Structure 1
């Protein structure tokens, strides 16, 4: 009830002006984290990975992280906010920027502390947007990064998922549980998957009744869902970053060769 009251209050405090309004109230959505950060804006481009700018400006923004959604806002008054952008939580990537920004960006060092980069793979316009934020304390940055980042396992052969990031599978062949911790599946059953192991076993929860257990993945087929879309967008973004890095390295090598020839 407290969660529902909080999100109902927020639905009145958040104003969608330049963004398409979305229904905020949902029984499966609640607020995970909120707080103010400083956004760094570049003169020519807001992108950090693919562009460089000569000047940088700062602006205060307020973030609302829900179980399935991130909303970036600008504070208008003590209790009212204008929505700047938003993105599904499973379409987010976050990177800690421990290294200083490029030396050709001559802005004050006090706003360069505790930086992290937030990548929206599918924002309210369906675009990929990069934002750089500065936090007052290193602990603030750590807490934001941990809140947005999906959980990981120390076992390289295992993958763990949260509710907001989990894939779904549908049963294509009936399976009868062989052990007490296994899940019996009927054809067409849909399961939220929370853990995958390298030997082909999944742990999940039946949508129809919430029963949880293990089952062999060969009896199921992954549902084409927002999770699949998010995974594809993450792979595409990583490829773009690697391509950009390679191009930059080749450009630097060419410049070094030209410099050596002149000398």
Structure 2
């Protein structure tokens, strides 16, 4: 049974985990608005930081194309490389193959990473234990240049076919 509803664009969220002392768990405040007016508010609690972040990501999805463009323009974003394959177990998780290169969007204290695979723009969560950070700045830049080059070639091929 649904008691309240709002369009995704009318949702606002605030992370309250650091602000509410004495309440255990990972707290966030969801506000449902109608126009600029507050319609309803709900205090939600997750058992883990990654659980909270995954709920927030589900309610406020970003455009994968926008994420990839940001990765191409900003050379100093965190990147990781898969060192152990991972099979997604939930719909918001990302299956990883060894050697995949990903932009790390969010890294939680309980060992999960939200990332975007550079090769195809797929986005999802995966365990931090399956990846290692790419600390070399020139390697990160090389990965982004290669990603841009592949996108340009792919776009040219698509234009030629149509």
When normalised by structure 1's length, the TM-score is 0.25
Structure with max Cα Rg:
1
TM-score w.r.t. structure 2 length? 0.40
Q: Which has the higher helix share?
A: 2
